[in-house]
Amino acid sequence: MKKSPASKSKLSIGPLLFNWSADKVRDFYYKIADEAPVDYVYVGEVVCSKRAYGKDYLPDVIERLEKAGKTVIISGLSLIMDDRDAKMDKDNTELAADYLIEANDLSTIGLLSGKDHAIGPFVNIYNEAALNYFEAKGAKRISLPHELSAHSLKALSKAAVSSELEVQVFGRLPLAISARCYHARANNLNKSGCQYVCDRDADGLTVDTTDGVPFLVINGLQTMSYTYCNLMAELKDLTAMGINNFRLSPHDVDMVKISNLYRQCLDGKITASEATFVLEDDVFNAEFSNGFYHGKPGLEQVDI
């Protein structure tokens, strides 16, 4: 299962973490299916189960992705809080005979124990013993936590026996999730009557310090980084340490163009600096960071 350093690196589109309209989500995945040079696509609701109801586009999306040759992985919730969440979680795991299910909560892993499954970055896998424990339970694909440094990633890659390891290399990083919905509270609403106000902020609601400096983003129940992780320059080191799966987290930008840049960089068709220049100059204007990878505060940008 563990890939050799010589094998082709794989790109994936991670689960959509934001609350977009059904039509927008459908169009997004159709475009990814038809135009993006990615190997895996994660679908499913990770942040809030309320967002999943009334959106019946998933079968059509999966069919389109599979016809385009993409491997579909179904992602589960990162926090199970009530009976509704538990039912959604159980319904997902019942699809395990047909799809690889990504568990983002320990209760989901319990339901999938003994079956082939994936584990998302919301599960704390920080050392070799934890990695091997989850492998023994059936984890075949593990997307590692965002805050791990290169030193930790290298150690985990060396310890992996039966799983493929994945690292997120683009997108805002989820930092925490809560039972409370700050997005609703910021709009003077309570969680039960939220009116789905998180759909007003396609990439999350920016939170400023008292000095007016943006430093976090709120996405429903989720707190995320304001900066966008960009590990384009670190791809070479990651592949050298044996990690060959790279996740791009979806945002309201041209994800096809972004996936093409990462694919060209991985294939050696352009340099990391050239790809980063295009990403920053031509795709969208944002603040990027790679601090966690280099053992620094996550919001920092370390030049290499």
pLDDT, tens digit, for every residue of 137-170? Answer: 999 999 999 999 999 999 999 999 999 999 999 9
* Burial classification of residue 176, based on how many CB atoms lie within 10 Å of its CB (0-12 exposed, 13-18 middle, 19 or more buried): exposed
DSSP state at residue 14: P
65-69, 136-140, 176-180, 232-236: least confidently modelled range: 176-180
**Nearest-5° Cα angle at 40, 238 to 99:** 125
Q: What is the pLDDT of residue 278?
A: 92
> Do 126 and 148 meet the contact criterion of CB atoms below 8 Å apart?
yes
> CA 143, CA 243: separation in Å to the nearest integer?
11
Q: What is the pLDDT of residue 97?
A: 87
Query: How much of the chain is in helix, strand and coil states, percent to nearest 5?
Result: 35, 20, 45
Q: Is the pLDDT of residue 189 over 50?
A: yes
Q: Give percent of the chain above pLDDT 70.
A: 97
Q: Is the pLDDT of residue 7 over 60?
A: no
> Do 15 and 44 meet the contact criterion of CB atoms below 8 Å apart?
yes
Alpha carbon distance, N-terminus to C-terminus of the chain: 32
Q: Is the pLDDT of residue 4 over 60?
A: no
Of 152, 142, 120, 131, give the one whose Cα is nearest residue 292: 152
User: Which 3 state secondary structure label does DSSP give 42?
Assistant: strand
Q: Is the pLDDT of residue 218 over 80?
A: yes
Q: What is the pLDDT of residues 253-274, one digit of tens each?
A: 999 999 999 999 999 999 999 9
Between 7 and 278, the more confident residue is 278
* Residue with the two structure tokens 């159709």: 30
> CA 145, CA 217: separation in Å to the nearest integer?
18
Domains within the chain, CATH numbers bracketed: 10-173+228-290 (3.20.20.70)
* Burial classification of residue 254, based on how many CB atoms lie within 10 Å of its CB (0-12 exposed, 13-18 middle, 19 or more buried): middle
Kind plus residue range of the DSSP H or E element containing 172: strand 164-177
Task: Provide the whole-model pTM.
Answer: 0.94
Q: What is the pLDDT of residues 54-105, one digit of tens each?
A: 778 889 999 999 999 999 999 999 999 999 899 988 988 898 889 999 999 9
